[in-house]
Chains A and B, each alone.
Chain A
Amino acid sequence: MWLLNSSIGKKLIMSISGIVLVLFLTFHAAMNVAAVFSEEAYNMICALLGANWYAVAATVVLAGIVAIHFLYALLLTFQNMKARGSDSYAVNTRQKNVTWASKNMFVLGVIVVGFMLLHFAQFWYKMMFAELLGNHEVTLGASQVSPQDGAAFINYYFSQLWVVIAYLIWYVALWFHLTHGIWSSIQTMGLSNNIWIKRWKVIGNIYATLLMAAFAFVTIFFYLKNLCGGSCC
């Protein structure tokens, strides 16, 4: 099977799974922004995405895509290290036009996955997973809340400074990853040429920036809101 055996096939798997994950991030960002305007609306989405069969099925598919993206990154990186050989250059330079992110995609990916685990422990484990176990109450700090009360979760976690800082670092790593990832995936699909490569790069940068700005905005918004006890916004 060429998709699994050839170098271009394997890269196509990286490219398509990456784009799907970008689309998921877009949905996730839109959902988060809703929380700023109305916590009820956000909780409605949370209830919709609780332990319903379609949400669980989508989560399984999503987890599969993340796993594929990560495993193929491992495989390709390993092959590339082998192809590079054991002797390294004494003098190394980064050429103009070569972005830092493009040379550190794997490291950035590992950072992103690391924070993802933190995120799952804080949210998913106590929300969808708790519901799957049949729990209708979970402990959040000192209080007991419903696993569908997403707004309580954001208010609780984003009132803590270390969580906010950790998430902001996560967004920065993801931003670097996406600034290379978006245009690179389109190049791998072959949908690029001398003119479009510049356009895809600009589109990729704008998209990554808007996406991460949306995530960062929600995070900071809830930190500030809880800082002043909800009286200022």
Chain B
Amino acid sequence: MDKNINITVKVWRQKGPQSKGAFESYQLKEISQGSSFLEMLDILNEQLVNEGKEPVVFDHDCREGICGMCSLYIDGHPHGPDTEITTCQLHMRKFDDGATITIEPWRSAGFPVIRDLMVDRYAFDKIMQAGGFVSVNTGGIPDANAIPIPKKDADLAMDAAACIGCGACVAACKNGSAMLFVSAKVSQLALLPQGKIEAARRAKAMVSKMDELGFGNCTNTRACEAECPKAVSISNIARLNREFIKAKLKD
């Protein structure tokens, strides 16, 4: 049964990208285990505002696990100790009475801290702009079933497309590698006939942008896959490697 718990939260506070950050601890009393993790942070912020202190800055938007906006490295895990969910889907029933919860921002050179727990994930947008799309000429709407697609390919593409671009893979990776994200974005299109045509160009452009932005080199530790809120598989990374090597050999 859900009950009310008293907890201590250890939060990373940092004024700006250039300033030096540090942890600060806050006590929270009578937090319902039925509340979500972000609601707990809302309560903390209300408490801070009432005390005349600066509230904690953190990213959030849809609060239903589909927008990819929430982040937070909670007790050593991106998106918290539960699996296959985002931080906004995490509930306080995962924590015990008297627990100390450590909350850190994503830490990677590719994602610099903007303030407190909020990081700049614009690098992902830049990678998408480099090639994460299908070029189309506008015209009449094609019939959905005009091009038959095998169920297996459709399923794999859908699994890859589940990626919400939150950056948990980079946060979890000891190498700060963005390979799981890039491979999911390359795979979701490379598997489908509409995306296949530009597959070579896409793989080359996105990998080159990823390298240029200073993300690390994948060493196949699988930490990304374990922490991904959408359980995107590293078999996508093998597919990206395949697409990339094939494209370069053809040149």
Contacts and interface: CB of A to CB of B under 8 A. Distances in A.
Contacts of A10: 217
B108 A105 contact: no
A131 B231 CA distance: 58
Interface residues of B, number: 51
A193 B235 CA distance: 5
Contacts, number: 143
B214 A83 contact: yes
B208 to A, nearest CB: 7
B235 A105 contact: no
A139 interface: no
Nearest to B156: A194
Interface in A65-100: 76, 79-80, 82-85, 87-99
Interface stretch (B30-38, B56-64, B133-141, B170-178): B170-178
B124 interface: no
Interface string B98-142: 000010100111100000000000000000000000000000000
Nearest to B109: A85
A184 interface: yes
Nearest to B20: A87
A79 B217 contact: yes
Given A84-B175, A87-B107, A11 B233 contact: no
Interface stretch (A1-9, A27-35, A160-168): A1-9
The B contact surface, by secondary structure, is mixed
A190 B238 contact: yes
Interface in A106-127: none
Contacts of A146: none
Given A82-B214, A83-B177, A9 B248 contact: yes
Interface residues of A, number: 45
Interface string B225-250: 11100000111011111111110100
A187 B221 contact: no
Interface of A: 2-3, 5-12, 76, 79-80, 82-85, 87-99, 102-103, 105, 180, 183-184, 187-194, 197
Q: Which A-B residue pairs are the 8 nearest by beta carbons?
A: A190-B242, A83-B216, A83-B176, A93-B76, A95-B226, A190-B241, A80-B175, A91-B76
25 contacts: A7-B177, A8-B207, A11-B241, A80-B174, A80-B176, A83-B110, A83-B216, A85-B109, A87-B21, A87-B107, A88-B107, A90-B23, A91-B75, A95-B227, A97-B225, A99-B221, A103-B221, A105-B219, A187-B238, A187-B241, A190-B246, A192-B235, A193-B235, A197-B235, A197-B238
Interface of B: 10, 21, 23, 73, 75-77, 102, 104, 107-110, 172-177, 207-208, 210-211, 214-223, 225-227, 233-235, 237-246, 248, 251
